[in-house]
Amino acid sequence: MIPRYSLPEMARLFSDEARLARWIEVEVLASEAWAKLGVVPPEHASAIRARAPRADAELVAAVAAREAVTDHDVAAFVDVVQAAIGAPEGSWVHHGLTSSDVVDTALSATLVAAADLLLEASGELVATLKRRALEHERTPMLGRTHGMHAEPTTFGAKLALYCLQAERDRDRIRRAREAVAVGKLSGAVGTYSNVDPAVEASVCEALGLTPVPATQVIARDRHAEYLYACAAVGTTVESLATELRHLQRSEVAEVEEAFGEGQKGSSAMPHKRNPITGERLVGMARVLRGYLVSGLEDVALWHERDISHSSVERIVLPDASLLAYYCLRRAARLVDGLVVHERTMRENLLEGSLGLVFSQPVLLALVSSGCTRDEAYRIVQSDARASYEQRRPFRDVLESDPRLSESLGSSRVGAVLDEAFDLERALRHAHRATDALEEVGP
DSSP secondary structure, 250-305, as one string: TTT-SEE----TT--S-SS-TT----HHHHHHHHHHHHHHHHHHHHHHTS--STT-
Nearest residue to 245 (alpha-carbon basis) of 285, 267, 274: 274
Q: What is the pLDDT of residue 284?
A: 95
- The one-character DSSP state at 88 is T
Among this protein's residues, is 146 annotated catalytic?
yes
Q: What b/e string do you get for 188-213 counting C-beta neighbours within 10 Å, with b at 16 or more?
A: bebebeebbeebbebbbebbebebbe
Q: What is the pLDDT of residue 266?
A: 81
Q: What is the pLDDT of residue 260?
A: 82
Tally of CB atoms within 10 A around 78: 22
Residue 258 is which amino acid? A
Q: What is the pLDDT of residue 374?
A: 95
Dihedral Cα 146, 148, 150, 155, nearest 10 deg: 90
Q: What is the pLDDT of residue 249?
A: 95
How many Å apart are CA 176 and CA 139, to the nearest integer? 37
What backbone torsions phi and psi does residue 182 show, to the nearest 5 degrees? -135, 160
- The one-character DSSP state at 217 is S
Ordered by where they begin, the domains of the chain are 1-95 (1.10.275.10), 97-257+272-354 (1.20.200.10), 356-420 (1.10.40.30)
Q: Is 70 exposed, middle or buried (0-12, 13-18, 19+ CB in 10 A)?
A: middle
Q: Does the predicted TM-score (pTM) go above 0.85? A: yes
Q: What is the pLDDT of residue 271?
A: 85
Q: Mutual orientation of helices 359-368 and 413-420 as an angle, nearest 10°?
A: 140
Among this protein's residues, is 271 annotated catalytic?
no
How many Å apart are CA 42 and CA 250, to the nearest integer? 73
How many Å apart are CA 18 and CA 346, to the nearest integer? 53
Instruction: List CB contacts of 134: < 8 A, sequence separation 6 or more.
Output: 156, 434, 437
What backbone torsions phi and psi does residue 213 show, to the nearest 5 degrees? -60, 145
Catalytic choice (72, 193, 266, 382): 266
How many Å apart are CA 124 and CA 135, to the nearest integer? 17
Task: Give Cα separations from 140 to 353, 423, 431 (angstroms).
Answer: 13, 8, 11
Going from the first residue of the chain to its last (442 residues), give the mean pLDDT of each consecutive group of 10, the final group possibly shorter. 90 97 98 97 97 97 97 96 96 96 98 98 97 97 96 97 97 98 96 96 98 96 97 97 96 92 83 90 95 95 91 95 97 96 96 95 92 93 96 95 88 91 95 93 79
Catalytic choice (91, 99, 122, 146): 146
